[in-house]
Structure 1
């Protein structure tokens, strides 16, 4: 028997869709509330008033605001993002070309975050109240309070300027004086990705630890943990196979939402390290008043976060058999 009813799932789908409509409306208003217009960069002294009017008509800016809003809501829900006036190509091409680079960077950070965080949280939850727990927990909170961009600058200063171990900009070495081979490309990308990846992971793992630590502490008082200890099993076996296995349920569901917020943080990290991903496109498109690109990038992030929130509810029902959403009781 399924643990989530069709009625509950239908309600969640409706709420998610309405949330997306609200976000799209806010996005439309906020983007167009910015001073200036993206066609300002296209207007040159050689253009007369008729040319400017034709230019506005080409980009739909001569339409009433309500008509622009309706077109925006319809087009974006059907995946028609239009053409970028800055990149001179379809918006989809701009996003698809940059998105894999963002996924490479933040996929690696996500893996590091949800390996280190739960492991540290497991031990801290098991040792809760001890001096070791308090010292590590306090240090972790201090790290968690540091802005990601400050950590990034610190890493750049130490590992690039002072030690010269890792490059701090771009995804590849520009104007390289060596022959490109498959292995040299992989090594070069790994060198460039090290600093931005660790800048994200050194802070983000604490979030997973903060979820795992209390969950681990709660399960240590369960009967099945005492039973495993009474059987004479080693402390390591009891901690990992019996306690941690059940404590991972809230961490697993939190990880789904963590993907979205890691991508959301790409705006800062990618610009600090000049990483050619979606975050850098968002900043450049906003500064150049490139409405189609900036709207499409924010729209895709919104869709991702809403979908992952929906998947979190569904994941709870399968990870924990005690939960049943949408039942009669």
Structure 2
């Protein structure tokens, strides 16, 4: 177990290093932030002073080595636009994004897994075929279009929910949360639904496929032959055996939603990390973009590691040390 953890940590360091090089070079190649940060009427001396202050007068390899050295000491740079550490700026937006993602995955699991289980146990029926067809539609529709339709229907036509913002929050251990207030919950509803729809479809299809396959396995037939109640068979034999792929997808989707919730956050003006990223890209705020990508990559790596540990907890046959071979 210890050797496996050490190997994964070394792989994670290599991934972070490779991502930092790729992102740093990509961001460096796109535009000149000085053009946006300084007035067009500024003199050449003022322009050169700004370039030197931001460290942009150094060659790209020198800028990267400086960034890498500072990153090893916990400093991912200072935002060109906001004038504060990029990491602290992103972390300040993290609770909003995490709340949105966790609520979306929770909603997707509560709706998608039971429906998918029903579809898998009733494979071939008209209802199951209709649900599977609808799941394809839910997974295929673009997020920005779904968001605009939700705003049009629920905010403009029916005037049930607010169209943007986070609403009132309540601090819990210093972390502002929206779902604990009625106003915050109303603001949270549409972004969560928009983010959850494709994941509900994914959970339905994944659970249905697993249940449809598991119901024909010998251990299920043997349990039925022994007279075990159907509810117990579904709960103990079918659902438990299809949890591993479900946990895998939930783990991957958690990291994906954190990284790619930018569209939903932009459509609903949700003040999370994704909206900050889009704004920073428009403003060519290089430190924030690089810090965001590295932080999201780190979250991906940690989530995958936790998923591996969850494998072993759900199925004792899964041995983490076997992956060393």
TM-score by length of 1: 0.88
**1:126-137 correspondence to structure 2 within 5 Å:** 126-137=121-132
Q: 2:28 aligns with which of 27, 32, 55?
A: 32
Give CA-to-partner distance per residue, 1:249-308, whole Å, 9 cap, x none: 221232111110111221100000011111110000110111111211122111111222
Query: SS of 2:181's equivalent?
Result: helix
Q: Which shifted more, 54-63 or 10-19?
A: 10-19
2-structure distance, mates of 1:183, 1:252: 26
2-structure distance, mates of 1:153, 1:77: 42
Query: Cα distance, 1:106 vs. partner?
Result: 1.4
**1:174-253 correspondence to structure 2 within 5 Å:** 186-253=181-248
In structure 2, runs of 5+ residues without a counterpart are: 169-176
Q: Residue 12 of structure 1 corresponds to which residue in structure 2? A: 8
Native 8 Å contact 2:135 2:202 kept in 1: no
1:117 aligns with 2:112: yes
Query: SS of 1:28's equivalent?
Result: helix
In structure 1, runs of 5+ residues without a counterpart are: 174-181
Query: Cα distance, 1:207 vs. partner?
Result: 1.6
1:53 aligns with 2:48: yes
Structure 1: which 4+ aligned runs deviate by more than 6 Å?
182-185
Query: Cα distance, 1:319 vs. partner?
Result: 2.1
Native 8 Å contact 2:107 2:196 kept in 1: yes
1:256 aligns with 2:259: no
**1:235-314 correspondence to structure 2 within 5 Å:** 235-314=230-309
Q: Which shifted more, 140-149 or 80-89?
A: 80-89
Q: Residue 177 of structure 1 corresponds to which residue in structure 2? A: none
Q: 2:159 aligns with which of 153, 161, 164?
A: 164
Change (3 A) 1:206 1:45: closer
Q: Which shifted more, 306-315 or 188-197?
A: 306-315
Q: Which shifted more, 135-144 or 311-320?
A: 311-320
| Larger RCO (CA within 8 A; separation ≥ 6) | 1
The two structures, once aligned, show a CA RMSD in angstroms of: 2.4
Q: 1:147 aligns with which of 142, 149, 153?
A: 142
Q: Which shifted more, 144-153 or 14-23?
A: 14-23
Native 8 Å contact 1:271 1:280 kept in 2: yes
Native 8 Å contact 2:179 2:185 kept in 1: no
Give CA-to-partner distance per residue, 1:3-53, whole Å, 9 cap, x none: xx4444433333222222111111011111112x22223323564333322
Give CA-to-partner distance per residue, 1:47-69, whole Å, 9 cap, x none: 43333222212111111211011
Native 8 Å contact 2:147 2:194 kept in 1: yes
